[in-house]
Amino acid sequence: MKKLLSLCAMLLIAAPVVVLRQPLAKVQTYVPQAELCAGNGTTLCPKLPANIGPDPELAKALGYKGLFAGLPQSKATDVETPFDNMAWQMFVALNWAASEVDQPASKGLTMPGTRVFQKYRKVSSLFHDPNAKTAACPSTIVLPKYFIGSTNSGKPSPNHEEYLQASTNLPLIDVNGNWTIFERRVNDIEAQFLLQPNGDPSQTLTTMDGQNNFIAKHANGPKFPASSASQTGNVGSIEIKTAWRIIDPRAGDDPSRYFTQAAIIGVRSNLVKTGQQFCTSVTLGLVGMHIIQRNPVDPNNPQLLPKWIWATFEHVDNAPLAQSPCDVGNPSGCTGPWLNQPSCGPAKPESGIRYSYYKPLSTQATNIRPKSPRASTDQPQFYWNRTQPYATGNTTADTGMPQATRCFSIYQTTAQLNTQWRKALADVRSPFQYYMLVGTQWGANVEHAGVQIMPTDAVPDMLSNMTLETYIQNNTGFGANGGPGSCVSCHAVAKLPAGSKPQSDFSFLPNLAKPETARSLFQTPK
């Protein structure tokens, strides 16, 4: 292993502690209910929620056990559903057609075109790297463009769209042999704060000089604008990260099961095997989505700490669950040899599903990190072919096949809500019926003692997206294999690259002001 610091997209380092896992109640007679719209839960709507709805469990001041007190038997004891409903409300509102926000779901969630979140600012437009190079794609083409940029030294630029996961600097290859592409955006509230916090452009967080000016007046670092405490109040800072794969019907992909967009991919010459840049038109399908919103200090919910609310979604066909997954509500069964190991064991594929990142007949181990066929450290690790499949031949033979699996099972009440939300989306014939909430994580101080090493600063204690953090889902801290599988714990150590490195309020984006060291918090294998 070669230790390199790497920017963590939506995960960071969890300080592990020793905690006890209490056995869960085996029978759950209570069933949570989907609230399809913030403040009015009967109909799908484009309203972005500012906070969770009522959650009586959060009023407890001491002895808070998170999800480990047993499966809820009533709405009054159901701590997670208000967060999961908020997550689905955000997902639906952000994926509403931007041109149809005044129209019902039958149009807003079915019409093609730009979604609400795609109106948000790209991170590359905020953190310009003067040394980064991108392909010269024709400006007359009006399709969305995904620029895979590079630095002067020939390495992929973290300030643009990417094909390396920010948490590990490693790519994810789909069953067609193509790289997965990652994109980041922020809403206008966060964009304005990054550009000129407190209305002062000289203190911008998008440059090193601006950060030094900011630190001179704010030694403790930034505090991003938070949402209102009311569920239907004003929305605060939002960060989004998406994962996309190239959809190819000739290879067996079904575009009707995805939210798709026609797009241009531009790849810089020194990232291409032949050394020639290219621009190509493709159909991209959404396969993963992180949404985080800066939550307020809420006096009615003292257990909800201001550590943002983290929601992560995946396409249902991404990958199968592991044969022996960890249960986030009862991790007493997570004592097997896979915790903090490269793989969480063999998968349990379902029949009849064409997975995007798993081939059922393969004997290859799951979630194995790709390796570059080149040993040189002064060249990009993973090249592009000029034609599809773009990744084929650009890793070693034993790591070139996608064999991903999900290491953690979805919490029971979350799974029940997924069924209800997906039915509501199916009723309006929306392609978003084929997406699922993997989980919603939020900051808390969980109190329980015992034997299992897990972080205790969030509920649930572990959360990862298979497409965005493929290789560190089961990591609880530093070690030979990289970083942890907890969004909150990971981002808790985010610091500004300027000055004496004060905390940056759980956001790694300000690290892009110094792109040459932006990927400097994780270990990357050779």
C-alpha distances out from residue 353 to 92, 320, 349, 357, 518, Å: 25, 9, 8, 11, 38
Q: Which of 488, 491, 481, 487 is nearest to 468 (CA)?
A: 487
Q: Residue 307: helix, strand or coil by DSSP? A: coil
What is the C-alpha to C-alpha distance for residues 243 and 6, in angstroms, rounded to an integer?
19
Q: What is the pLDDT along the chain (526 residues), one digit of tens a residue?
A: 333 334 343 333 333 333 333 344 456 689 999 999 998 889 999 999 999 999 998 887 666 777 877 789 999 999 999 999 999 999 999 999 999 999 999 999 999 999 999 999 999 999 988 888 899 998 878 899 999 988 877 788 899 999 999 878 899 999 999 999 999 999 999 999 999 998 999 999 999 999 999 999 999 999 999 999 999 999 999 999 999 999 999 999 999 999 999 999 999 998 999 989 999 999 999 999 999 999 999 888 888 999 999 999 999 999 999 998 888 887 666 766 677 787 888 999 999 999 999 998 888 889 988 988 865 554 557 999 999 999 999 998 888 888 999 999 999 999 999 999 999 999 999 999 999 999 999 998 877 655 456 777 889 888 999 999 999 898 876 544 445 688 998 898 889 999 888 899 999 999 999 987 776 544 443 3
Is residue 176 a part of any domain in this protein?
A: no
Residues 6+ apart with CB under 8 A from 491: 8, 10, 11, 12, 308, 506, 507, 508
Is residue 304 a part of any domain in this protein?
A: yes
The amino acid at residue 15 is A
C-alpha distances out from residue 282 to 144, 178, 264, Å: 10, 12, 6
What is the C-alpha to C-alpha distance for residues 401 and 370, in angstroms, rounded to an integer?
9
Q: Residue 409: helix, strand or coil by DSSP? A: strand
What is the C-alpha to C-alpha distance for residues 81 and 88, in angstroms, rounded to an integer?
10
What is the C-alpha to C-alpha distance for residues 36 and 41, in angstroms, rounded to an integer?
4
Is residue 260 a part of any domain in this protein?
A: no
Beta strands, E only, 194-342? 238-246, 260-267, 278-293, 309-315, 321-327
Is residue 157 a part of any domain in this protein?
A: no
Is residue 253 a part of any domain in this protein?
A: no
Domain ranges, residue 56:
2-113+188-233+291-524
Q: Treating both helix axes as pointing N-terminal to C-terminal, what angle do 412-427 and 81-94 enclose, rounded to 10 degrees?
A: 30
How many domains are contained in the chain?
1
Is residue 174 a part of any domain in this protein?
A: no
Is residue 169 a part of any domain in this protein?
A: no
Q: Which of 327, 408, 330, 310 is nearest to 367 (CA)?
A: 408
DSSP string, 452-511: EEE--SEESS----TTTSGGGTT--SSSTT---SBHHHHHTT-B-SSTT--B-TT--GGG
Is residue 11 a part of any domain in this protein?
A: yes
The verdict on pTM exceeding 0.75 is yes
Cα pseudo-dihedral 68, 69, 72, 76, rounded to 10: -120
Q: Are the beta carbons of 312 and 439 closer than 8 angstroms?
A: yes
